[in-house]
Structure 1
Amino acid sequence: MRSFMTKAGISFRQMLVGIAALAGVAAALSVTSQAAEEAKVIPAPTQDEPTGAKPETTVLAGGCFWGVQGVFQHVNGVISATSGYAGGARSSAQYETVGTGSTGHAESVQVVFDPKKVSFGHLLQIYFSVAHDPTQLNRQGPDTGTQYRSAIFPQNDQQAKVAKAYIGQLNHARVYDAAIVTKIEPGKNFYPAEAYHQNFLNDNPTYPYIVINDLPKVRNLKSIFPADYRPEPVLVARNNQ
């Protein structure tokens, strides 16, 4: 089993044991400031989708889906944020199989949003700023493998156009110390993850991995995007899983 700072390769039962391990929680708290990913204040996109009247969907991958889901569940205008898998086949969309890194899937989050309240471009700004580090290739924080890659799965041509333009804008402005490695992968289906992965950050706020890697992302959302932060997250209904 890996260190408590990682998530891959451990069973859900082992996760529950870890949640109850007070010593591990204390250790996690002591190193949070060292391990947490740093957020980046970045400019808004110069190109965006036109405001639509109906809810819209996009799929974003940025490492472990626990933290990415947790961030977008706290964003005003987001109707739902569901953890799952994108990039591979339906037959291999299971946690243990995806964890091998051989399926083509990335741990992803399907975000349904109201474009009258939050635009696709602004969701990308949050994604690149606080949800993950887009300069890390096939890894994120302590997790490594193609299943943890940075990827955008656009649901229409306009989303793909906006995403490509924004990546170009940020790279041209040298916002990061390294080039953005985020891939744009159109035409890929999304498959919801197992029920125990849904709302994981909300349900397990003392789990060491969450304390170290993911709660700082939610705090950064509140700090950098205070107008977008909603205190009460929008959660995945259990009867939908």
Structure 2
Amino acid sequence: MDTDTNFNGTALCFRALGPVILAVVLGSASPVHAVEAAVAVPPPVVDLPTPAAAGAQTAVFAGGCFWGVQGVFQHVAGVKSATSGYAGGSADTATYQQVSSGRTGHAESVRVVYDPKAISYGRLLQIYFSVAHDPTELNRQGPDTGTQYRSTVFPADAEQARVARSYIEQINRANTFGKKLATTIEPLKAFYPAEAYHQDFLTINPGHPYIVVNDLPKIDNLKRVFPAVYRATPVLVGSAR
């Protein structure tokens, strides 16, 4: 996300707004969003088994600006938390200003803590590939470009890596998107939560032009494509202001 600053000092996305978004910003158009097409991705043939014992598990996904990815998973039943952050680089470069340079190795990512008895890792991947982002885009999503916006799965362990790899191969064999996925699989060395102003951004700022155009359609698609796991009230990192 290239950023500007609003009157409260909050960093906001304003790259490639275009005339429609500028109209919203200037007040000459109402912030109504159109539902973008979602790709119906079949469920994975290979998935993790439901564990016998209770306990939360963690998954980390990168797919463009973390505002929308976080917003999607916060509306998924069985998800206990979804946190925006950075993965792929080192601790000393895990700040928004540095990651935005595209030279840190980090990707804007979301850490999803979920109940594997309520939703499987494979179903989370299905949502990720279908409605959370476009997995065929290489080092970009929508108006945002750079390696920090790459499509990457960061498996927490070898079993998650096995499921993710198998699923990518399955989707490519089926030619579901009409072209190969650009999604990479990288080992999860560490996850660093993003700055507080990035957390729950979609919920707190539903009228923000970037959110209206790029991210609210993802929530609509989640509700439409995955009604069985959609929940209207998102689970938030902090209290919505």
Name 1:47's counterpart in structure 2: 46
One-letter amino acid matched to 1:61: A
Q: Distance in 2 between matches of 1:97 and 1:202?
A: 25
DSSP-derived class of the 2:168 partner: helix
DSSP-derived class of the 1:110 partner: strand
- Residues 105-139 of structure 1: CA deviation (Å, up to 9, x unaligned): 00000000000000000000000000000000000
Q: Distance in 1 between matches of 2:221 and 2:199?
A: 21
1:81-160 equivalences under 5 Å are: 81-160=82-161
Q: Shift of the alpha carbon at 1:50?
A: 1.1
Name 2:19's counterpart in structure 1: none
Q: Shift of the alpha carbon at 1:177?
A: 1.7
Name 1:229's counterpart in structure 2: 230
- Checking the alignment, whether the CA contact within 8 Å between 2:89 and 2:106 is kept in structure 1 is yes
Is there any run of 5+ residues in structure 2 with no aligned partner, and where?
A: 15-22
TM-score, normalisation: structure 1: 0.89
Name 1:29's counterpart in structure 2: 31
DSSP-derived class of the 1:147 partner: helix
DSSP-derived class of the 2:192 partner: strand
DSSP-derived class of the 2:228 partner: helix
- Checking the alignment, whether the CA contact within 8 Å between 2:87 and 2:188 is kept in structure 1 is no
One-letter amino acid matched to 1:29: P
Q: Shift of the alpha carbon at 1:39?
A: 1.2
Name 1:74's counterpart in structure 2: 75
One-letter amino acid matched to 2:176: V
One-letter amino acid matched to 2:88: G
- Residues 44-72 of structure 1: CA deviation (Å, up to 9, x unaligned): 00000011231100100000000000000
Name 2:17's counterpart in structure 1: none
Give the direction of change, closer, same or farther, for the CA distance of 1:25–1:192 in structure 2 (3 Å limit).
farther
DSSP-derived class of the 1:169 partner: helix
Give the direction of change, closer, same or farther, for the CA distance of 1:25–1:117 in structure 2 (3 Å limit).
farther
Give the direction of change, closer, same or farther, for the CA distance of 1:169–1:29 in structure 2 (3 Å limit).
same
DSSP-derived class of the 1:227 partner: coil
Q: Shift of the alpha carbon at 1:26?
A: 5.0
Q: Which runs of 4+ in 1 moved over 3 A?
A: 21-30
TM-score, normalisation: structure 2: 0.89
Q: Shift of the alpha carbon at 1:211?
A: 0.1
Name 2:190's counterpart in structure 1: 189
DSSP-derived class of the 1:80 partner: strand
One-letter amino acid matched to 2:169: G
1:173-212 equivalences under 5 Å are: 173-212=174-213
Q: Distance in 1 between matches of 2:177 and 2:119?
A: 24
One-letter amino acid matched to 2:163: V
Give the direction of change, closer, same or farther, for the CA distance of 1:23–1:9 in structure 2 (3 Å limit).
closer
- Checking the alignment, whether the CA contact within 8 Å between 1:67 and 1:214 is kept in structure 2 is yes
- Checking the alignment, whether the CA contact within 8 Å between 2:31 and 2:207 is kept in structure 1 is no
